Structure 1
Amino acid sequence: MSKHESRANFEVIFEGDPKDGWMHSGIAILSDGRLVFEAAGGHGLVFLDVASGKSEKIAVDIAVAHGIATTFESGEDFIWICDPGAQAPGKVVKINLQGKIVKELTPPQTTPASTEHWRPTSVAVADSGDIWIADGYGLSLLHSYRANGEVETLDGSASGSLFDCPHGVAIDKRSGQAQIVVADRKNKRVLTFDESGKFLHQVTADVITTPSSLAVSGDDLFVTDLFGAIVKISKSGVATAQVPSTHSQERPGWPNKLATEGSDETVAPTIADGCINSPHGITASKDGVVYATEWFFGGRVLKLH
């Protein structure tokens, strides 16, 4: 498969080297339009100029850039990263473009075991300065670090059921006011809250099976669905498959494949033309172009048409 090879409604614009390891990445856009996402193998970020195809890699003291958001403050770009941690508690940090950590959020102490189970998966920063963190792999909570220093926590109960792996969070301004959208993966739903944390509504549909990350483009909300689909949700709440899935369940070695039948060794998957394997992170540019990452050895970055 060649880089930049066209597909029916998307193209591959970047592929990592499977030999480097996993790409389990979020994705965001810098003020100059470059994409930022995790380097395969972790402990680094890639800055990609889509027009030229040129990329730059920097080292960061983060194992996995699972969730990524960008801010532009006083003429300078900053990158927020959620690292859910593997053998240790996770972390949420703010870095500059040189990879230096300039801020780290303290885990909210909602229970005595909060720090031990702190496994943040996604971050979104509102214009108000509030920072929203989805603790998808930890205690299945949504936290708002308010600009005034307070921390508020939502467990999803106002919707009628508790969160179960709130994997992604994003800011949605389609209504004319900032709202908070959450990809509640195991509950197969996308929820909307106002900035105060009040539950507003939720969307469920047959095409939403494993919602992971979210991004707004124009009047639509785009959602990565882990088993090979990208879903589009209209302002009225109608969900359709922008990129349909070609598989509905995990296969041996998922999201990679077994090197040989019956072995324990896994290698990067073979992906058929026009198919997506395991979409993970997603973002949209100011002019509405949607980009997504895929989770497997090496990984890749997609541009939707």
Structure 2
Amino acid sequence: MIFDKSGNYTGGWGKIGFDFIVPHGVSIGPDGSVYTSDTGDHTVRKWTKGGQLLMTLGRPLINAPEQSGIPFNRPTHFTVSSSGDLYASDGYGNSHIHCFDSNGNLKFSWGGHGSGPGEFDTIHSVYVDIEDNDKIYATDRYNNRIQYFSKKGEFLGEWTNVNLPNDVRKGPDGNFYVAELDHRVSILDSSGNLLARWGDVDANVDDSETGSGLSNSPSRNPMIVGKVKHEPGAGLFGAPHGIAVDSEGSFYVSEVSETFLGIDRGDRCVQKFVRV
């Protein structure tokens, strides 16, 4: 779906069951190309901004063995570097990051399930900082950290002052904006120091594999009020899932519904925050 910066729907493309099964992550390249990941059919794809398919990596509906390191098993994100190399976080079922050349040929992979440097417990997204020699940032959700690497996959460091990080992006101010599944958003400087945080700032980390604590997240649906911990309100988040920052420094937070509740809560949205 495509929206203008005021939130007006301007169009879209794709059809569930045909172009997508479970579309999960999306990123935009410098030339406007669109990169998507699909956790349902185990592929990543490149499209024109008008929706013409340019490339598919992976075999649709055929997954690699879990934790094999072979692409793909429920890939979570797909993006491009300044050189044209492509990076995919094979996050839900494989705990690896894969690097491909611009034609889709696999160059190398790194990772493995665990908590050590360069290991992952659910890589939810991968971000390439094209302004800093294509440094790679990976949100390592259940290890409650963001790891960063050279473009060759060499471990450089980690930031650990986050709760269940789902997505990270760099803004024009040089700071990093983090969507945390645990009901909040944080802003970190380039060294990982906390600058600001809002949402449920006092949340306890719920690092369970089921995310059971998410049923207590904010609600905007009157049918849910009274059954959750927070009342509705701007700046409250129910499971931030993705984040993006535009050239003006405004940023956008998307939320995910807790499907394990067995109901369609119908209260998830995208919130926009502008610099003042």
TM-score band by shorter chain is 0.7 to 0.9
Separation in structure 2 between the aligned mates of residue 52 and residue 90 of structure 1, nearest angstrom: 30
Structure 1 residues 140 and 255, CA gap change in structure 2 (3 angstroms): farther
CA distance in 1, matches of 2:9, 2:163: 35
Is residue 43–residue 75 contact of structure 2 (8 Å, CA) maintained in 1?
Answer: yes
Shift of 1:242: 2.7
Which residues of structure 1 form unaligned runs of 5+? 1-45
Q: Which residue does the alignment assign to 1:163?
A: 120
User: Which of 251, 271, 276 pairs up with 1:302?
Assistant: 271
Q: Aligned equivalents of 1:223 and 1:197: distance in 2? A: 21
Partner of 2:235: 274
SS in 2 for 1:280: strand
Distance 1:179 1:115 in 2: 23
1:68 to 2:26 alignment: yes
The answer to whether the 8 Å contact 2:58/2:72 transfers is: no
What's the counterpart of residue 216 of structure 1? 170
Q: 1:81 touches 1:123 (CA, 8 Å); kept in 2?
A: yes
Instruction: List gaps (5 residues or longer) in structure 2.
Output: 207-211, 258-265
> Judging changes above 3 Å, is the alpha-carbon distance between structure 1 residues 163 and 253 closer, same or farther for their aligned structure 2 residues?
same
Q: Relative contact order (C-alpha < 8 Å, sep 6+): which is higher?
A: 1
Q: Deviations over 1:175-209 (max 9, x none)?
A: x422000100011111110111111111112xx11
> 1:52 & 1:300 partners in 2: Cα distance?
11
**In structure 2, distance between residues paired with 1:198 and 1:115:** 19
Pick aligned residue for 1:202 from 158, 162, 166: 158
RMSD over aligned Cα, in angstroms?
3.3
Matched-pair contact (CA < 8 Å) for 2:20–2:38: yes
Count residues with an aligned counterpart.
246
Question: Which residue of structure 1 lines up, in the alignment, with residue 253 of structure 2?
Answer: 292
| 1:190 matches 2:146 | yes
Give yes or no for the alignment of 1:139 onto 2:108.
Answer: no
TM-aligned CA deviation for residue 159 of structure 1: 5.2
Taking only the aligned residue pairs, the percentage that are identical comes to: 23
Shift of 1:295: 0.8
Which is strand-richer, 1 or 2? 1
1:93-131 per-residue CA deviation (whole Å, 9 max, x = no partner) reads 112234332210136979896679611001221011111
Q: Per the alignment, do residues 50 and 187 of structure 1 end up closer, same or farther by CA in structure 2, a change over 3 Å counting?
A: same
**In 2: Cα distance, 1:115 partner to 1:194 partner:** 21
Higher mean C-alpha deviation, range 58-67 or range 212-221: 58-67
| Residue 90 (str. 1) matches residue 42 (str. 2) | yes
Query: Does residue 102 in structure 1 map to residue 54 in structure 2?
Result: yes
SS class of match (1:186): helix
Deviations 1:28-57 (A, max 9, x none): xxxxxxxxxxxxxxxxxx110124734323
Instruction: Give 2:129's aligned residue.
Output: 172
Shift in CA distance, 114/199, structure 1 to aligned 2, threshold 3 Å: closer
Distance in 1 between residues matched to 2:54 and 2:216, nearest whole Å: 36
